[in-house]
Amino acid sequence: MFKRLFGRGQDAPRTEEEAQVEEEQVTQSLEKSRQGIFGRIAQIFATDDPITEELWDELEEALIQGDVGLETTQYLVNRTKDRVNRYGTKKASEARDMLKAEMVRVFQDQVRPQSATTPTPFVILVVGVNGAGKTTLIAKLAHRMKFRFGKSILLAAGDTFRAAATEQLETWAERAGVPCVSLGQGADSSAVVFKAIDAALEQQVDVLIIDTAGRLQAKFNLMQELEKMRNIIARKIPEAPHEVLLVIDATTGQNGVLQAKAFLKSAGVTDVAVSKMDGTAKGGIAFAIAQDIERPIRYLGTGEKMSDLALFDAQTFVDALFS
């Protein structure tokens, strides 16, 4: 039986059927990981052979190769070892569920409290480096909220720096069937935000999603720009943005985690969305993100279709890696 999962803020409760559909999406998107590194880990724990130091060394090597990261790998291996010793477990197959439980814990340690009320408009600021998949994820998010939960959505094309970024978001907005506020390339991004907030308040939309630039080569100016945007939003709507969603490309591995850290302080990141999960054989990057970024993973991009976006659930994710 699938759990009835409740989203935060702008998300309505998922039915068991919806949760099952998303579980299948996650399972399919992790096919490469399951056949690669995590298939190897499953084999390590598939026998009734006695647990040895060689097993732990092999597990550590596999996790690092799977982009879990050194610190998180050591955490998982040591925590699982402790469980094995505490319960006197002797066989490798009996330690498998202990490893999975520790993997789930990595994600659950980052869960933040849910809000009891949903402000209107609910403002989401989307940040991340260029190429991470921000624009596509925004479109998927808008589509999900509109067609699954019946929310009214407004997009704001705040990335006015990158060539064709505004046009790209407008195109995706049209595909998702939602309006988009833009002032064109080269415009002041803060002016776009100001105009979008006014429109959101006037039209009483449920959710305002704001795109931002991701040019790390101009890091100082970019971070100043993000802070300015946040200040404008807060002045217009107290306590907003209600969610700052950092998009990380799963295919970039540890490099993506390092790049993402640049956004943590200036952007005030609250949650993470992992895009292109179906494009990597190293699904372990999700563990590194949760541990190193120290923010909860909110969404997984599971494919190229507009509907390929799943609400992240730790148990579902870990089960999918081993199923």
Name the packing angle between helices 70-87 and 53-65 (round to 10°). Answer: 150
User: Among 134, 121, 144, 168, which residue's Cα sits nearest to residue 7?
Assistant: 144
Q: Report yes or no on 1 lying in a domain.
A: no
Q: Report yes or no on 323 lying in a domain.
A: no
Average of pLDDT values for 17-29?
A: 91
Number of domains in the chain: 1
Q: Report yes or no on 236 lying in a domain.
A: yes
Q: Give 193-242 pLDDT, tens digit per residue.
A: 999 999 999 999 999 999 998 876 567 787 888 889 999 999 999 999 99
Q: Give 140-178 pLDDT, tens digit per residue.
A: 999 999 998 899 999 999 999 888 899 999 999 999 999
Q: Which amino acid is at 174?
A: E
Q: Give 233-273 pLDDT, tens digit per residue.
A: 999 999 999 999 999 999 988 888 887 887 887 788 999 99
301 assigned to a ligand binding site:
no
Domain, as residue range, for 138: 122-269
Average of pLDDT values for 100-127?
A: 87
Asked if the model's pLDDT at residue 125 lies above 80, the reply is yes
Q: Give 27-40 pLDDT, tens digit per residue.
A: 999 999 999 889 99
Q: Report yes or no on 248 lying in a domain.
A: yes
pLDDT at 248: 93
Higher pLDDT, 89 or 282: 89
135 assigned to a ligand binding site:
yes
250 assigned to a ligand binding site:
no
Higher pLDDT, 115 or 222: 222
pLDDT at 223: 82
132 assigned to a ligand binding site:
yes
Q: Report yes or no on 322 lying in a domain.
A: no
Asked if the model's pLDDT at residue 120 lies above 80, the reply is yes
pLDDT at 1: 26
Assess contact for 247 and 132: CB atoms under 8 A: yes
240 assigned to a ligand binding site:
no
CATH number reported for the structural domain that contains residue 225 in this entry? 3.40.50.300
Asked if the model's pLDDT at residue 114 lies above 80, the reply is no
Q: Strands across the sheet with 153-156, in order?
A: 180-181, 153-156, 207-211, 122-127, 243-249, 271-275, 297-301, 309-311
pTM: 0.91
215 assigned to a ligand binding site:
yes
Q: Report yes or no on 220 lying in a domain.
A: yes
133 assigned to a ligand binding site:
yes
Q: How confident is the model at residue 2 (pLDDT cuts 50, 70, 90)?
A: very low
131 assigned to a ligand binding site:
yes
pLDDT at 292: 87
Instruction: Give me the half-sphere count of Cα atoms (radius 13 Å) on the Cβ side of residue 152.
Output: 10
Q: How confident is the model at residue 5 (pLDDT cuts 50, 70, 90)?
A: very low
The percent of residues above 70 in pLDDT, for the chain, comes to: 93
Q: Report yes or no on 159 lying in a domain.
A: yes
- How confident is the prediction for the chain on average, in pLDDT? 89
Asked if the model's pLDDT at residue 7 lies above 50, the reply is no
Radius of gyration of the chain (CA): 21
pLDDT at 192: 96
Asked if the model's pLDDT at residue 6 lies above 80, the reply is no
282 assigned to a ligand binding site:
no
Distance CA 290, CA 111 (A): 10
Asked if the model's pLDDT at residue 183 lies above 80, the reply is yes
Q: Report yes or no on 92 lying in a domain.
A: no
Asked if the model's pLDDT at residue 44 lies above 90, the reply is yes
Average of pLDDT values for 11-36?
A: 87
Average of pLDDT values for 280-309?
A: 91
pLDDT at 216: 67
